[in-house]
Amino acid sequence: MTPIVGLFLVALIEIALGIVVWMRNPRRSVNRWFAAFATTLAVWGTLVGVRRSLEDPAVVLAVVRILWATAALIPVTFAHFAVVFPRPAGRQSSRARRGGSLPARGAAAVFPGAAAARSTATAVGPRAARLT
């Protein structure tokens, strides 16, 4: 498989994932922002593949301009998703009280630095932001 075909395949998977998440509950802002983030990544990947397959410099320039504009949307959509994602629920499930699901525990085992960083930031609290 050539790298360009791989870009289009990943973009198709991202679009499908965004649609599935959005269709699950389109009224939830977390679903909408995840779908926007996944779609932005898919459009960006598609444009990278299109740019790599073109020959005409004028067309490449137009695609690159759209590519850069799309790339600028990636951090925006991720930031909005990150703001709405970790909202605490009113009641936690018994699984959340026990420490999460098996995939979450596996991810914590593989990426222990992320769990340590979160517990350190929680332990330090807002006092760390003061410079006095």
pLDDT per residue over 49-71, tens digit each?
999 999 999 999 999 999 999 99
pLDDT of residue 115: 46
pLDDT of residue 116: 45
pLDDT of residue 120: 43
List all residues 6 or more positions away from 57 whose beta carbon is below 8 Å from its beta carbon. none
Query: Is the separation of the CB atoms in 14 and 39 below 8 Å?
Result: yes
pLDDT of residue 2: 72
Is the pTM value of this prediction over 0.85?
Answer: no
Residues of the chain scoring pLDDT < 70: 1, 88-132
Residue position matching structure tokens 């983030």: 37
Reading the block at residue 70, the tokens are 């799309």
